[in-house]
Chains A and B, each alone.
Chain A
Amino acid sequence: MTQEQHSGQRREETTAQDQDVVAAAGQDAGVDDLLDEIDGVLEQNAEEFVRGFVQKGGQ
């Protein structure tokens, strides 16, 4: 696959994903309740958590 094709494909996927974001959220009535809980459970400092999550090689 050439670089050109690759980046073209990526653009297409991003568009498709944006559509799905919209579709997903409209579906569940109970989703708000769940997201409230997730907000409370998520690590306080997301940036520090993500930066600090460093692993060594495995199989």
Chain B
Amino acid sequence: MSVHRVMGLETEYGVLAPTMPGANATMLSAQVINSYAALVRAGHGAIAGTHWDYTDETPLNDARGFTVERAAADPSQLTDVEPELDAEAVALSGGDAVLGDTLYSREGTEPEVLMNMVLGNGARLYVDHAHPEYSSPETTNPFDAVLWDQAGDHVALAAMRRIATLAGVPDVHLYKNNTDNKSVSYGAHENYLMPRSVPFEKIAAGLIPFFVTRQIICASGRVGRGMLGSHPGFQVSARADFFEAQIGLETTIRRPIINTRDEPHAHWEKYRRLHVIIGDANLGQVSTLLRTGTTALVLSMIEAGTAPALELRDPVAALQAISHDPTLRATVELVDGRRLTALEIQEIYAEAAADHCGATDATDEATVEIQRRWEETLAQLGTDVFSAAATVDWVAKYKLMSSYAQRHQVDFTDTRIAAMDLQWADIRPEKGLYHRLAERGMMETLYSGAQIAHAAANPPEDTRAYFRGRVLNQYPEHVVAASWDSVSFAVPGARRLERISTLEPLRGTKALVGELLDRDLEIGEFIASLRS
């Protein structure tokens, strides 16, 4: 029992070109990817981004044991093919010939628009539907998950800054949020590796009450209720109103609390990758830590069979009722007839985790800290919600807005409050309201800017991301494709590509391949040594 397990976070950024309303979102997203590619190229000389290897993508496999037919799937579920920026998309981008020209003929050497990159820190940066997405490298604990998630914001900011230097190209602004408050939502997903031997029904049953209630310790807050934000008021979670089902395969329509996509990106018979779609994107480092850390503890309990046995009468309604009451007094009904608040349900989970950690002698530093923070946060929220403002994103946002509303004698229907909601998530330190608070020391942080910048360029050392990141940094001209579970090399004189499988997430670590990489062998020798 501990918080240690393989995990990674995905962020889809909101993307906006303020001077070009209606600009094609896929085009703007591609510009972000290509801009970062240009920065990498400037630093490393050769690499223009590495192609994503789609061979092992299986987005239509359902963890409940079946596969959705391609023809029956929503087009947005077909994530195993390269998205195309076709002529129609270019035409639809309307009046941005300059933008198009820049993408297609940048420096006259890159005829191709990159839609995918693998980064030297082991992450994937790509165009997902109509958003730039950063998928963090695999890490082994919540603290590292936070650091390499923050590294994604660093990458996105660097890309955005570069676009701002290009003459004739409109600025692109990026937002780490989840909705435009006009019916559209985009995700911040979490991934946790689990043994396949744990039955999926058990995972779902143990997680649903936890996922419905964990928003109070780690969500990001939102102004407006309903998918359209048409009902006034502040709510706890940005995502809650976009969920309509308990369990399902989709991620863009009929969103389920438990997503069943069964695409382990690892040995299928040994692992499942729990794909969590119900979180809010966090600017705050501690909120990200609580989100991943407490989830890791609950997964450990589920695996050990010690998760609390709670069952909500109507999980989707409960999710929204809790989100709609930032005073945290709303109660939700269990099937046994009890009515509990989100705080009470979270306390039951936190106590069970403490008991289980005690019984299994889980005393490592990270696990102890997550438990302590979880209990402290619940105690703060139970005493005075605003006392958690330095660590819980929605509370910090709510407090700032409440103060603003009082100063200007306005209520939460005021347009300036709606603007603050969006600007909270602007990733620029000088404009983002979260960042303004953090700079004043009003948000607790775990990592310095220097540590985050280092993580943007270097992989974690204790997963296969280390191998992926290091070979990209060291042999950029020979890596022709990569995915979570393989890296393909072009070796001079070889008749075909050398595809190195990385199906075991805990191999390819510094301990296993660091020394070999440090020898800086010629590529052919390196591959031969790997194979021997």
Q: Do A and B bind each other?
A: yes
Complex interface: chain A residues within 8 A of B321 (CB):
1, 9
Q: Would B327 and A24 count as touching, CB distance under 8 A?
A: no
Complex interface: chain B residues within 8 A of A50 (CB):
181, 415, 418-419, 422
Q: Would A58 and B187 count as touching, CB distance under 8 A?
A: yes
In whole angstroms, what is the CA distance A57 to B23 when docked?
14
Q: Scoring B residues 366 to 386 as 1 if CB is less than 8 Å from chain A, else 0, what string do you get?
A: 000000000000000000011
Complex interface: chain A residues within 8 A of B422 (CB):
49-50, 53
Spot the interface stretch: B207-215, B303-311, B402-410, B450-458. B402-410
Q: Would B129 and A14 count as touching, CB distance under 8 A?
A: no
A25 to B: closest C-beta gap in Å: 4
Q: Scoring A residues 7 to 27 as 1 if CB is less than 8 Å from chain B, else 0, what string do you get?
A: 001100110110011111101
Given A17, A34, A57, which contacts B233 in the complex, CB threshold below 8 Å?
A17
Complex interface: chain B residues within 8 A of A59 (CB):
12, 76, 128-129, 186-187, 189, 251-252, 277
**Closest Cβ neighbor of B419 among chain A residues:** A46
A16 to B: closest C-beta gap in Å: 4
Complex interface: chain A residues within 8 A of B185 (CB):
57-58
Count of residues in A whose CB is under 8 Å from the partner chain: 37
Known: A56-B184, A59-B129. A34 touches B402 (CB 8 A): no
Known: A41-B433, A42-B423. A55 touches B15 (CB 8 A): yes
Interface size on B, as a range, is 35 or more
Q: Does B63 sit within 8 A of A, measured CB to CB?
A: no
B447-480: which residues lie under 8 A (CB-CB) from chain A?
none
**Closest Cβ neighbor of A56 among chain B residues:** B130
Complex interface: chain B residues within 8 A of A56 (CB):
25-26, 129-131, 184
Q: Would A25 and B180 count as touching, CB distance under 8 A?
A: no
Q: Would B324 and A16 count as touching, CB distance under 8 A?
A: no
B102 to A: closest C-beta gap in Å: 21
Complex interface: chain B residues within 8 A of A10 (CB):
231, 233, 324
Complex interface: chain B residues within 8 A of A58 (CB):
12, 128-131, 184-187, 252
Complex interface: chain A residues within 8 A of B25 (CB):
55-56
Complex interface: chain A residues within 8 A of B386 (CB):
20, 23-24, 27
Q: Does B498 sit within 8 A of A, measured CB to CB?
A: no
- Can you give 16 A-B contacts (C-beta < 8 A)? A9-B324, A13-B327, A17-B233, A20-B398, A22-B406, A27-B386, A34-B400, A35-B404, A52-B16, A54-B21, A54-B22, A54-B184, A55-B14, A57-B184, A58-B131, A59-B129
A-side residues, CB < 8 A to B, are: 1, 9-10, 13-14, 16-17, 20-25, 27-28, 30-32, 34-35, 37-38, 41-43, 46-47, 49-50, 52-59
